[in-house]
Amino acid sequence: MADAELLIKEVSSYLKPQDVEHVRVAIEFSRVAHQGQTRHSGDPYVTHPIAVALILTPLHLDVQSIIAALLHDVVEDTEISSEQIAEKFGLPVAELVDGLSKLEKIHFETREDAQAENFRKMLLAMARDVRVILIKLADRLHNMRTLGSMRPEQCERIARETMEIYAPIANRLGLNDIYQELQDLSFKHLHPNRYAVLAKALKVARGNRREVVSKILDSIIQQLAKKHIHAEVTGREKNIYSIYKKMQIKSLAFSEVLDIYGFRVLVDDVDACYVALGILHALYKPIPGKFKDYIAIPKSNGYQSLHTTLFGPFSTPIEIQIRTREMHKIADAGVASHWLYKSGHSSINELHKKTHQWLQELLESLNESSNSAEFMEHLKVDLFPDAVYVFTPKGKILSLPRGATAVDFAYSVHTDIGNRCIAVKINHELVPLRTELRNGDRVEIITAPHAKPNPAWLSYVTTNKARSHIRHFFKTMQSDESAQLGERLLNQALQALGIKPSEIRESCWDKLLRDTGVKTRQEMLADIGLGRRLNMVVARQLACSGESISIENIANPVITIQGTEGMAVQFATCCRPIPGDPIIGVIKSGQGLVVHTHDCASLRKGHNSNNGQWLDVVWDKNITRTFAVSLKLLVANQRGVLAKVAAAIAEAESNIENVSFANEGEYTALHFTLEVNNRQHLAGRMRSMRMIPEVIRIFRVQNTG
């Protein structure tokens, strides 16, 4: 096994002799465990874990990581257990292997559910130990290198997952070489023809431009040396996928993409970076708007560098990166620089803190996801690579995804700031909360103590942190309000059974929760309020008397509607009930109590389908809130009639929520949605509108379906 010997040679260059022996033992253990197994290509299976371990050696990962890479498929694909690995190689190795193993023994309804759960498990393990994702990325990289032996549909699925998830994770962790190779390999399998054409064109261009590149390189080296700047200057070539993306975004042909070559300048310290920048700007003219300072404002993955684009000879654009050698270490190895350079440098330590914080925030929001689709949406949004950099009023820099709004900013500062924000000042000017942020904006959030999130925010926030916290707020609020409604329903059901709610013993509640598998009393009450459980059934279970009570013979209790129940009580939009209307309620699972008018056509359809629990409800005598009601007016086709009607409504102290109109022959139909207090208030508004000469007919619109 030539690869095994190569692995031993590589790890011998940085591991202790006793650790190298442990690696030898692990290679043999993996070979025996995978005996008789082959890959799709026909190669012995053990070649894969050895190749994965080899990918990790340039990062100088420790002996535990190398052994875990060699054993990462042992638990999943052989009879070897995690306990056996822990016994032979130690608990840390077993935990790394467990974090890498898929959930094969659990049945999932769909591939998406399985994929989401596997990612969730991997991220949990990654938050405990970042080495998990480093090994996983090496595993995915070798799989992508050998993907050609699989069926086309499998190739496409794996390549797409790599492009959408694994490559962005590598980028987020600062593993630049792995990131670019994963992108290129994914592109190769997703668009093989485009990849082949570009690869061939790049090879030709490399030969044609060799002389120009050499001339530019020499002039940069000479100019820096003349100014006594000690620097290493190297040429670099863009990866195929980044060239393809540039062609796609800017609608360019390959021949128009002139900056496929760039140059990297490594200097001794930060001051030398800016001095070198000035020297190069004097040598070649800079292209306006093409300068970026990632030293003053680092990228979220810790990357620091100065980027500039210059007009070179023959009008060739030259992309140049200027950075210190320490910055270059982080740019190359990212979070793995901890193992590669054990210097304890502050930049490396800061990068690890940021990575850990990012993982914790990601897990916090992902744990609040209600399904696999929402989970994957959060994950992909969070890995979106482009960023804008904005300032707090105190001058702190925050990095947010491109397209982020003021609401995203508020939640990135603190969850409470997001939940209580009511307005925003950007660069000292009041602007809407949905305003997209731009690089360099100074953002100040204005809050109010009793403010709360608006559901409309979900339509324009871009960060997964903002989206998950808004959703969590409404889920929590709905749960609290549903619990309050559930308690009212349960108390009235108990009273109908002749039992005072205060007489229910704690032991009865404990028995009910134990029998139903519900964790808390609050959760049980919320289930009643949301219609997931019948109040009468729960009341009978709580009675603890052992007597048989027939639910059919007990009259439904009457629920009083106060109009302030929040999300637990909804007013049906089909009939728009208002105080004074005869009403009836239906509790539907997951929706809570929905109030309809007694004669609602939609309600009758629902009654026939026996869908939901029906309740008698009445209006509270003291309701102060307003309700929406729909009106239709037939008016004569005359100029100014809409203004007259609107003025009459305003004089009657009613708000107009919405207005529309349509021609109906010789008349015009005006449709209004007004806010009214009750039926009497509505009747007064309708009387004032009937007094307008142009109004032919007016009536309330109900039962819209």
My answer on whether 64 and 155 are in the same domain is: yes
Question: From its phi and psi, is residue 187 left (phi > 0), alpha (psi between -120 and 50) or beta?
Answer: alpha
H-type helices in 579-640, by residue range? 601-608
CA–CA distance, 650 with 671 (Å, rounded to integer) = 16
Domain boundary among 306, 340, 374: 340
My answer on whether 20 and 155 are in the same domain is: yes
pLDDT of residue 274: 93
My answer on whether 500 and 600 are in the same domain is: yes
CA–CA distance, 283 with 134 (Å, rounded to integer) = 41
Residue 42 lies in a domain: yes
- Set 62, 76, 293, 480: catalytic member: 76
Q: How many CB atoms lie within 10 A of CB 597?
A: 21
DSSP state of 165: I
CA–CA distance, 391 with 441 (Å, rounded to integer) = 6
pLDDT of residue 359: 65
Residue 382 lies in a domain: no
Which tokens is 534 given? Answer: 């019948």
CA–CA distance, 453 with 469 (Å, rounded to integer) = 9
My answer on whether 37 and 81 are in the same domain is: yes
Q: For the residues of 174-195, what is the DSSP string, one character each?
A: T-HHHHHHHHHHHHHHHSHHHH
Do the Cβ atoms of 539 and 493 come closer than 8 Å? yes
DSSP state of 612: S
Do the Cβ atoms of 41 and 149 come closer than 8 Å? yes
What is the CATH number for 638? 3.30.70.260
Residues 80-134: tens digit of each pLDDT: 888 999 999 999 899 888 878 754 444 445 666 666 666 666 666 666 777 888 8
| pTM for the model | 0.58
Angle at 196 between CA 146 and CA 47, to 5 degrees: 10
My answer on whether 91 and 167 are in the same domain is: yes
| Beta-carbon contacts of residue 622 (< 8 Å; ≥ 6 apart) | none
Burial 152-182 (b: 16+ CB within 10 A, else e): eeebeebbeebbebbbbbbbbbbbbbbbbbb
Residue 177 bears catalytic tag: no
User: For the packed helices 521-529 and 506-516, what is the interaxial angle rounded to 10 degrees?
Assistant: 70
Q: Which amino acid is at 599?
A: D
Closest to 597 in 3D by CA, of 488, 489, 493, 701: 701
| Beta-carbon contacts of residue 666 (< 8 Å; ≥ 6 apart) | 636, 637
pLDDT of residue 444: 93
CA–CA distance, 53 with 38 (Å, rounded to integer) = 18
- Set 3, 77, 332, 675: catalytic member: 77
Burial 627-659 (b: 16+ CB within 10 A, else e): bebbbebbbeeeeebbebbeebbeebebeeeee
Helix (H, G, I), strand (E, B) or coil at 570: strand
My answer on whether 252 and 289 are in the same domain is: yes
Which tokens is 504 given? Answer: 């229910």
Q: How many CB atoms lie within 10 A of CB 555?
A: 7
DSSP state of 230: -
E strand or H helix at 306, and its extent?
strand 306-311
My answer on whether 231 and 306 are in the same domain is: yes
Residue 440 lies in a domain: no
| Beta-carbon contacts of residue 462 (< 8 Å; ≥ 6 apart) | 381, 384, 400, 401, 403, 404, 405, 408
What residues in the chain have per-residue pLDDT under 70? 1-2, 102-127, 207-209, 255-261, 314-315, 335-387, 478, 530-532, 544-559, 562-568, 589-592, 604-613, 703-705
Backbone angles phi, psi at 660, to 5 degrees: -150, 165
Closest to 28 in 3D by CA, of 55, 50, 11: 50
Which tokens is 68 given? Answer: 């875990």
Do the Cβ atoms of 685 and 647 come closer than 8 Å? no
Structural domain span for residue 282 = 197-340
My answer on whether 21 and 93 are in the same domain is: yes
CA–CA distance, 409 with 465 (Å, rounded to integer) = 10
My answer on whether 221 and 93 are in the same domain is: no
Q: For the residues of 194-206, what is the DSSP string, one character each?
A: HHHHHHHHHHHHH
Residue 399 lies in a domain: no
How many folded domains does the chain comprise? 4
Closest to 539 in 3D by CA, of 488, 588, 481: 488
Q: How many CB atoms lie within 10 A of CB 195?
A: 19
Angle at 15 between CA 10 and CA 19, to 5 degrees: 110
CA–CA distance, 361 with 411 (Å, rounded to integer) = 12
Residue 307 lies in a domain: yes
My answer on whether 242 and 310 are in the same domain is: yes
My answer on whether 201 and 186 are in the same domain is: no
Pairing of strands 317-324, 261-267: parallel
Residue 226 lies in a domain: yes
Burial of 368 (0-12, 13-18, 19+ CB in 10 A): middle
For the sheet containing 592-597, what is the strand order?
Answer: 558-561, 613-619, 583-588, 592-597, 569-571
Residue 28 lies in a domain: yes
Max CA-CA distance within the chain? 102
Domain boundary among 190, 212, 231: 190
CA–CA distance, 689 with 245 (Å, rounded to integer) = 61
CA–CA distance, 459 with 467 (Å, rounded to integer) = 9
My answer on whether 267 and 307 are in the same domain is: yes
Residue 256 lies in a domain: yes
What is the CATH number for 157? 1.10.3210.10
Domain boundary among 156, 190, 224: 190
Residue 76 bears catalytic tag: yes
Q: Which residue has the tokens 């990325």?
A: 137
Residues 233-292: tens digit of each pLDDT: 988 777 888 888 878 877 777 766 656 668 899 999 999 999 999 999 999 889 888 888
